[in-house]
Amino acid sequence: MRTRRGRRHHPLYWSGDLLVVCSGSGETPTTVVTAKSAADVGARIAAVTASADSRLARRADLVILLAEYSQDHEPDRSVQFVGTLFEQGALLFFDSLVLAYERLHEVDPRKMLALHTNLE
């Protein structure tokens, strides 16, 4: 890990960065490892998950809980195929978040697209 002006660094993020990670179960191995790697250099972690008691949620500085409910409001039950309800909720959440950020900070969408993801 290199340093720049006293900041710890990983090839993909720096201390003080915010890493937003998403996993319905909160146990997806690559997501958990990525969050740990970012936290190890001092990045903050925001986790979007359906599981408040997951490894990812416990590591996160901020947890956005998109709980899945059935028609009778029982947690963790849905008539949809496994994970579908979480994925639909996450899509709406992230689309709303990006649109709000774009408008609030007057960001050029082309610049956002260029920085869209560097973790894949």
Structure tokens that stand for 2 in this block: 């290199």
Catalogue the E-assigned strands of the chain: 3-4, 7-10, 13-14, 18-22, 44-49, 62-65
Give SS3 for 58. Answer: helix
Which member of 74, 87, 102, 106 is catalytic? 87
120 catalytic residue (yes or no): no
Q: Which residues are catalytic?
A: 87
